């Protein structure tokens, strides 16, 4: 671990220039990050083992949850991430011999987390991957073969026709191999792995703007995608991830605890027992920043995940949802929190709908904090990574608001907070915001 005061970059704001503790790689758990300090983690590990299997918006760098897991829990403890996204915390809990529990409302998130934390035997995986590539080749060679291309809105704008055919042949081949091996539990796990690899290339093979988190088409963004590129990308990704999975398998052999749980439920209603959790650790969605169903819509279509009813109903269940009704925001909503109400009023004067979205985010987070207080053992921690936002020109200090909610309404003690500057690669937001990073609140029950 190298800790030094950062000299910074001339373009950074004055605040960001001073007193930043720079950390290269792992943070020693015996180190107490000073209260109110700023840290900059230079990650070495973003693709370590299975961490890099799939992109995910606002994904943790593994070093931060690794430090918090090691610092605030012990061998054999139960670590929960109630909004686990792509499962960074759950994998780190596993790698550190803790029992990891991950909950997420998003089916893609659950699938990635499951695959990321399920070691697959390398010989069988390699043989299966080879069989899959052969099956794809066989189907592609049959000019009369009509693959099952899913139906969805604007499908032919999102994808070129030859890409649709190639993706569908990959999808069909994965399913054909599963049908042939239905009786083997190991094969079902390999099937999930293949599905994640397919999902991981869908966005890049579509016509969507690759630089935008949301899935959007832009007239001025024309990608070069040639016939056969989808197969090449799939096979390269597959072979690369097979090798990462094999490394994970070797590491997992030496772990004493391989107990991962991915119960259904939501962050507000986990279904977990009272006082059963030793550490909770999460990064909630940013208010106003990432619409997860829209971000993953193309992957959801290809994986057949849109059976749960209309998109708007699915979206409303997400914390930070922007799917709100006019009747809900006709009047200014008051929360009763000193740090929040003046902000709601300022935003309301410009945009009542946005004001309600912010109000609803913190109302949901209040319920979420309450749920964590219920499931945590006395004396244990809830660590939350939360970024601040600028909404209609009004700064929303989410860290201060959440601290007030957690301490005054729920009963947590704010043990420590520090600011973690992270450079996020997948979210394209203006540079000053990209450098801003997020606050880590360590709440103690
Ligand atoms: C910032 S992401 C988490 C990223 C994660 N830390 C990682 O490393 O990949 C926030 C997650 O919260 C999830 N989420 C939003 N509302 C939820 C709810 N009501 N219950 C459970 N998860 C929810 C979203 O689906 C999303 O995956």
Residue ID of nearest Cα to ligand 1 atom 12:
83
CB-based contacts of 340: which residues, under 8 Å, 6+ apart?
358, 359, 362, 401, 404
pLDDT for 153 equals: 86
- Residues 307 and 418 reside in one and the same domain: yes
Ligand 1 mutation pick, 66, 109, 316, 387, max ligand atoms within 8 A of CB: 109
Taking the centre of ligand 1 as the mean of its atom positions, its distance from the CA of residue 266, in whole angstroms, is 10
Taking the centre of ligand 1 as the mean of its atom positions, its distance from the CA of residue 85, in whole angstroms, is 5
Question: Does the C-beta of 359 come closer than 6 Å to ligand 1?
Answer: no
Taking the centre of ligand 1 as the mean of its atom positions, its distance from the CA of residue 188, in whole angstroms, is 25
Q: Report the nearest atom of ligand 1 relative to the CA of 60.
A: 8
Q: Report the nearest atom of ligand 1 relative to the CA of 364.
A: 19
pLDDT for 307 equals: 60
pLDDT for 435 equals: 44
Question: Does the C-beta of 91 come closer than 6 Å to ligand 1?
Answer: no
Residue after which a domain boundary falls, among 196, 230, 253 = 253
Question: Does the C-beta of 318 come closer than 6 Å to ligand 1?
Answer: yes
Residue ID of nearest Cα to ligand 1 atom 5:
85
Question: Does the C-beta of 383 come closer than 6 Å to ligand 1?
Answer: no
Taking the centre of ligand 1 as the mean of its atom positions, its distance from the CA of residue 417, in whole angstroms, is 21
- Residues 110 and 127 reside in one and the same domain: no
Dihedral sign of CA atoms 162, 163, 164, 165 in order: positive
Per-residue pLDDT of the chain (445 residues; tens, 9 = 90+): 333 323 233 334 445 445 789 888 899 999 999 999 999 888 887 889 999 999 998 889 999 999 999 999 999 999 999 999 999 999 999 999 999 999 999 999 999 999 999 999 999 999 999 999 999 999 999 999 999 999 988 999 999 999 999 999 999 999 999 999 888 999 999 999 999 999 999 999 999 887 777 788 887 877 899 999 999 999 999 999 999 999 999 999 999 988 899 999 999 999 999 999 999 999 999 886 667 777 888 999 999 987 655 566 677 788 888 888 889 999 999 999 999 999 999 999 999 999 999 999 999 999 999 999 999 999 999 999 998 888 999 999 999 999 999 999 999 999 999 999 865 544 444 444 444 689 999 999 9
- Residues 212 and 289 reside in one and the same domain: no
- Residues 313 and 293 reside in one and the same domain: yes
pLDDT for 220 equals: 81
Taking the centre of ligand 1 as the mean of its atom positions, its distance from the CA of residue 140, in whole angstroms, is 37
Pair 53, 244: CB distance under 8 Å: yes
Tokens 């009786």 identify what position?
183
- Residues 290 and 325 reside in one and the same domain: yes
Rounded distance, CA 400 to CA 63, Å?
24
- Residues 386 and 322 reside in one and the same domain: yes
Q: Can you give the CATH number for the domain in which 273 is found?
A: 3.40.50.150
- Residues 186 and 316 reside in one and the same domain: no
- Residues 314 and 243 reside in one and the same domain: no
Taking the centre of ligand 1 as the mean of its atom positions, its distance from the CA of residue 244, in whole angstroms, is 24
Taking the centre of ligand 1 as the mean of its atom positions, its distance from the CA of residue 261, in whole angstroms, is 16
- Residues 198 and 241 reside in one and the same domain: yes
pLDDT for 311 equals: 64
Dihedral sign of CA atoms 356, 357, 358, 361 in order: positive
Question: Does the C-beta of 266 come closer than 6 Å to ligand 1?
Answer: yes
CB-based contacts of 111: which residues, under 8 Å, 6+ apart?
192, 195, 196, 199, 303
Question: Does the C-beta of 85 come closer than 6 Å to ligand 1?
Answer: yes
pLDDT for 305 equals: 84
- Render 34-99 in DSSP notation, one character per residue: PTT-EEEEE-S-TTSTTTTSS--TTPPPTHHHHHHHHHH--TT-EEEETT-TTTHHHHHHHHTT-E
Q: Report the nearest atom of ligand 1 relative to the CA of 106.
A: 25
- Residues 198 and 225 reside in one and the same domain: yes
Question: Does the C-beta of 412 come closer than 6 Å to ligand 1?
Answer: no
Question: Does the C-beta of 300 come closer than 6 Å to ligand 1?
Answer: no
Rounded distance, CA 128 to CA 191, Å?
9
- Residues 202 and 99 reside in one and the same domain: no
pLDDT for 310 equals: 57
Taking the centre of ligand 1 as the mean of its atom positions, its distance from the CA of residue 267, in whole angstroms, is 9
Residue ID of nearest Cα to ligand 1 atom 25:
106
Taking the centre of ligand 1 as the mean of its atom positions, its distance from the CA of residue 122, in whole angstroms, is 30
Q: Report the nearest atom of ligand 1 relative to the CA of 319.
A: 16
SS3 339: coil
How many domains is the chain partitioned into structurally?
2
- Residues 282 and 332 reside in one and the same domain: yes
Residue after which a domain boundary falls, among 253, 270, 302 = 253
Residue after which a domain boundary falls, among 214, 238, 253 = 253
Q: Write out the residue range of the structural domain in which residue 435 sits.
A: 3-118+258-444
Ligand 1 mutation pick, 54, 58, 83, 370, max ligand atoms within 8 A of CB: 83
Crossing angle of helices 122-141 and 161-180, rounded to 10°: 130
């Amino acid at each position: 671990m190298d800790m030094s005061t950062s000299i910074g970059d001339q373009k950074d704001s004055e605040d960001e220039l001073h007193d930043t503790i720079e950390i290269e790689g792992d943070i020693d758990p015996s180190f107490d990050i000073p209260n109110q300090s700023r840290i900059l983690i230079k990650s070495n590990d973003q693709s370590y083992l299975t961490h890099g299997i799939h992109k995910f918006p606002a994904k943790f760098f593994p070093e931060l949850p690794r430090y918090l897991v090691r610092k605030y829990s012990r061998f054999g403890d139960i670590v929960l991430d109630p909004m686990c996204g792509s499962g960074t915390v759950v994998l780190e809990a596993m790698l550190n011999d803790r029992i990891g529990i991950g909950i997420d409302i998003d089916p893609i998130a659950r699938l990635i987390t499951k695959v990321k934390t399920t070691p697959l035997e390398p010989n069988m995986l390699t043989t299966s991957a080879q069989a899959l590539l052969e099956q794809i080749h066989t189907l592609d060679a049959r000019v009369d073969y009509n693959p099952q291309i899913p139906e969805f809105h604007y499908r032919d704008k999102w994808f070129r026709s030859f890409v649709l055919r190639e993706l569908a042949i990959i999808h069909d081949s994965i399913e054909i191999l599963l049908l042939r091996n239905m009786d083997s539990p190991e094969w079902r796990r390999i099937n999930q792995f293949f599905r994640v690899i397919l999902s991981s290339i869908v966005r890049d093979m579509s016509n969507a703007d690759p630089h935008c988190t949301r899935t959007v088409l832009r007239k001025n963004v024309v990608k070069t995608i040639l016939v056969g590129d989808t197969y090449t990308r799939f096979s390269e990704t597959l072979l690369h991830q097979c090798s990462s999975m094999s490394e994970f398998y070797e590491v997992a052999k030496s772990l004493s605890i391989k107990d991962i749980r991915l119960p259904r439920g939501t962050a507000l209603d986990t279904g977990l027992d009272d006082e059963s959790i030793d550490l909770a650790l999460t990064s909630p969605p940013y208010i106003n920043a990432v619409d997860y169903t829209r971000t993953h819509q193309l992957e959801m279509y290809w994986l057949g995940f849109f059976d749960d009813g209309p998109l708007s109903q699915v979206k409303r269940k997400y914390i930070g949802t922007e799917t709100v009704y006019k009747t809900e925001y006709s009047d200014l909503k008051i929360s009763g929190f000193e740090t929040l109400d003046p902000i709601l009023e300022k935003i309301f004067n410009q945009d009542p709908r946005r004001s309600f979205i912010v109000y609803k985010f913190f109302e949901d987070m209040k319920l979420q904090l309450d749920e964590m207080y219920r499931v945590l053992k006395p004396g244990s921690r809830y660590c939350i990574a939360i970024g601040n936002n600028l909404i209609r020109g009004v700064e929303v200090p989410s860290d201060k608001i959440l601290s007030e909610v957690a301490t005054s309404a729920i009963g947590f003690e704010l043990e420590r907070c520090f600011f973690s500057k992270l450079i996020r690669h997948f979210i394209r937001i203006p540079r000053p915001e990209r450098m801003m990073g997020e606050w880590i609140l360590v709440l103690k029950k």
